[in-house]
Amino acid sequence: MTRLPALTGALCTVLILAGCTSVAPDGLRSDVARHTQGRLPAGTELPSPATAAGPQADAPAGTATAALDPASPHPAHHAAQVDAWLAQPVDADTAVRIAVLNNPGLQAQLAQLAAQDAARAQSLTLINPSLTLGRFTNAHERELEREIGLGIVDLITLPWRARWQGWQMERATLETAQAVLRLAADARRAWLNAVAAQQTLQAHARLHDAAVAGGELARRMAAVGNFSQLQQARELRVQQDAAAQLARARLAAALAREDLTRTLGLWGPQAMALRLPAQLPPLPRAEDLRPGDAAEATALRERLDVRALRRDLDTTADRLGVARVGALFGDMGLSHSRNTSTERDSGHREQTRGWELTLPLPLFDWGGSASAAARAELDRSAARLRDTALRARSEARSHWLRYRTAWDLAHQQHAEVLPTAQFMQDEAVLRYNGMFISTWDLLAQARSTTLAVAQATDAVRDFWLAEVDLQLALTGTSPDGAASAPRDVALTTSTPTREGH
């Protein structure tokens, strides 16, 4: 047993390394939180793992609803927190907080991250040594074979593998953090769309009321003989148009709200309890806008997708160095055997002890293909990093441009278009006072003023949407192309239709 110290030393190393392989108790959530820190509104917290929820005693037992309740597998304090947030009209930041805490899709992703972490830990655990026992007899002797074997390539490559797996987990964590940021952006977009749609709906309700009043006045005009039925029908058309637009605006508002509650992971009474502010946040002042000059540098420094790919590149570069070794010594094994043979007749016992090292002969595979694959992998990784960096720079520029233009447009709506519309309405009232135009002309002008208000709302919404995208493009990840396009549902319903006159 004099060789034991060496073996003991090796085993100690293995054990130390194996210590690194323990599963993170919070499923890496704190690592995700570290990446999203400063990129989310203050007070945003990731949901605790479902397993920490404890007994689900508070959920009504035995009902299908309880099983379907998305909130039930979570600690009671989550639900209480969401309820507390829902007690007030929900602003954009709170919407993000609710979504991050409450969105089941994100919870699934976090759970997957935890599962990946567990898998990583498992993969770093050494394969158990094998013990081979054999008993062979012939006419003369009885032979007992005891062999303890250990695949040592696992052991040799353990430090590398631990490092790669660590990097891989960091990459997965970064990707999950990006998912968190994307969800936050989705929540902001859904919130902006819902508030804007609600505001547009109010404008359309006012329009409809006025059109109904005009239609009713026209009906009374016809009733006393002052309007022909054709004239009345023209005003009726205005009313019908307004009703159709109101229906569309109502649908758009309902869909936008539905989108928001879905993103926030709300349902049932919580979805009912969700209240929104009456108006979008006001436009920031020009001097408070983000400057565009540092956009590219910020994106390259801050973006998590760029970081993740840089980590990829590190991993593949590291892996290239050992690829050949791995290929050559893939089946390397170490075993220690102690064989006892006993002469049946004499009872003479003979023992054989020895080490056995199994080495593959690199006769056919000299590891060339493996290293070529690793090199290609490295190239791919580098190219992907370059590609993403390129995209990050371009997105930083283009989203800043969209952000700035959206501000200019919204500012123009508020500083120029709305005052002009208001002035036109005031002048129309003056013309009505002087009996230059009729009540219906006045109502038509009022409708166009209200539409201008609705369009100004859309412009403010588009600015904030652009702001969400820019924020994501600068510090998070690539904004989803489809989602970042301005949603024109409300806008298409607010096409001015001035009938007659």
Partner 1 sequence: MQRRHFFAGAATAVAAASVNRAALAALPEPVSQASADTAAPLAPPNGRPYRPVITLNGWTLPWRMHNGVKEFHLVAEPVVREVAPGFFVNMWGYNGQSPGPTIEVVHGDRVRLFVTNRLPEHTTVHWHGQRLPNGMDGVGGLTQPHIAPGKTFVYEFEARRPGTFMYHPHADEMVQMAMGMMGLWITHPRGAHPLIAEVQRDYALLLAAYDVEPGSKTPRVAEMTDFNIWTFNSRVFPAISPLVARQNDRVRIRVGNLTMTNHPIHLHGHEFEVTGTDGGPTPRAARWPEVTTDVAVGQMRQVEFIADEPGDWAFHCHKSHHTMGAMGHDLPTLIGVDHRGLVEKIQQIVPDYMRMGERGMADMGGMEMPLPDNTFPMMTGAGPFGPLEMGGMFTTLKVRRDLGANDHRDPGWYRHPAGTVAREWTGAPLDAQAPRQTAPGTAPGAAQVHKPGHAGHAAPGAPSPGAHDGH
Helix axes 104-124, 92-102, angle to 10 degrees: 50
Tokens of residue 413, six digits: 């709506």
Give yes or no for a contact between 108 and 74, defined as CB atoms under 8 angstroms apart. no
470 binds partner 1 (CB under 8 A): no
Stretch that binds partner 1, among 56-64, 105-113, 203-211, 348-356 (CB under 8 A): 203-211
Taking CB under 8 A as the criterion, the residue among 23, 24, 221, 251 binding partner 1 is 221
DSSP 50-88: GGGG---TTSPTT-HHHHH-TTTTS-HHHHHHHHHHHTS
Q: Pick the closer one to partner 1 by CB: 228 or 405.
A: 228
Taking CB under 8 A as the criterion, the residue among 142, 206, 324, 414 binding partner 1 is 206
The 3-state DSSP class for residue 147 equals: strand
Q: Pick the closer one to partner 1 by CB: 205 or 251.
A: 205
Give yes or no for a contact between 280 and 293, defined as CB atoms under 8 angstroms apart. no
Q: Pick the closer one to partner 1 by CB: 126 or 212.
A: 212
CA separation, residue 217 to residues 221, 226, 430 (Å): 6, 11, 20
The alpha helices in 143-288, defined as continuous H runs, are 152-223, 229-264, 268-273
The amino acid at 164: W
222 binds partner 1 (CB under 8 A): yes
What is the rounded CA–CA span in Å between residue 187 and residue 468? 10
Stretch that binds partner 1, among 66-74, 135-143, 231-239, 485-493 (CB under 8 A): 231-239
Helix axes 92-102, 229-264, angle to 10 degrees: 50
| Smallest distance from partner 1 to CB 227, Å | 6
Query: How far from chain centre, in Å, is Cα 207?
Result: 39
What is the rounded CA–CA span in Å between residue 88 and residue 281? 16
Taking CB under 8 A as the criterion, the residue among 233, 243, 255, 289 binding partner 1 is 233
Q: Pick the closer one to partner 1 by CB: 155 or 211.
A: 211
Residues composing the chain? 501
219 binds partner 1 (CB under 8 A): yes
Residues within window 163-202 making contact with partner 1, judged by CB under 8 A: none
216 binds partner 1 (CB under 8 A): yes
Stretch that binds partner 1, among 86-94, 146-154, 213-221, 279-287 (CB under 8 A): 213-221
Q: Pick the closer one to partner 1 by CB: 231 or 394.
A: 231
| Smallest distance from partner 1 to CB 38, Å | 46
148 binds partner 1 (CB under 8 A): no
210 binds partner 1 (CB under 8 A): yes
Q: Pick the closer one to partner 1 by CB: 332 or 437.
A: 437
Stretch that binds partner 1, among 224-232, 271-279, 304-312, 320-328 (CB under 8 A): 224-232
Residues within window 395-454 making contact with partner 1, judged by CB under 8 A: 425-427, 429-440, 442-443, 446-447, 450
In the block, tokens 């001097």 appear at 287
Give yes or no for a contact between 48 and 78, defined as CB atoms under 8 angstroms apart. yes
What is the rounded CA–CA span in Å between residue 457 and residue 279? 9
28 binds partner 1 (CB under 8 A): no
Q: What share of the chain is helix, strand, coil (3-state, %, to 5)?
A: 70, 10, 25
| Smallest distance from partner 1 to CB 416, Å | 20
Q: Pick the closer one to partner 1 by CB: 39 or 447.
A: 447
Binding site for partner 1 (CB under 8 A): 206-207, 209-210, 212-217, 219-227, 229-233, 236, 425-427, 429-440, 442-443, 446-447, 450
